[in-house]
Amino acid sequence: MSDAQHVRHRRHVLVLPDRDAAEELSETLTERLGLAEEPQLVRDALAGEDDAEDAQWLVVFEDSDAAYDPGRLDELAAEHEGWREAE
């Protein structure tokens, strides 16, 4: 892969407060962006916390052509009380 191709590829990580919000956002992204594959949902326990309630959920998806506007992803995450991790 050339450097130009590598720069264009992105992995987006959206952080949500709970599983329900992550699942809802995953469905929204698939519908609105026409993703070929559903985003991956990952439970991310907060450092030092053992309680399952103290976990964030990550919605992760590949953007091989860097086609999705980070600003729009920020807005969608915020609608679900979350945020997008900056690269």
pLDDT confidence bin for 43, thresholds 50/70/90:
very high
pTM over 0.75: yes
Average predicted confidence (pLDDT) for the chain: 86
Total tally of structural domains belonging to the chain:
1
Q: What is the CATH number of the domain that holds 30?
A: 3.30.70
Instruction: Give the structural domain span for 78.
Output: 3-84
Which among 50, 87, 55, 70 is positioned nearest to 41, based on CA atoms? Answer: 55
Backbone angles phi, psi at 73, to 5 degrees: -65, -35
pLDDT of residue 2: 45
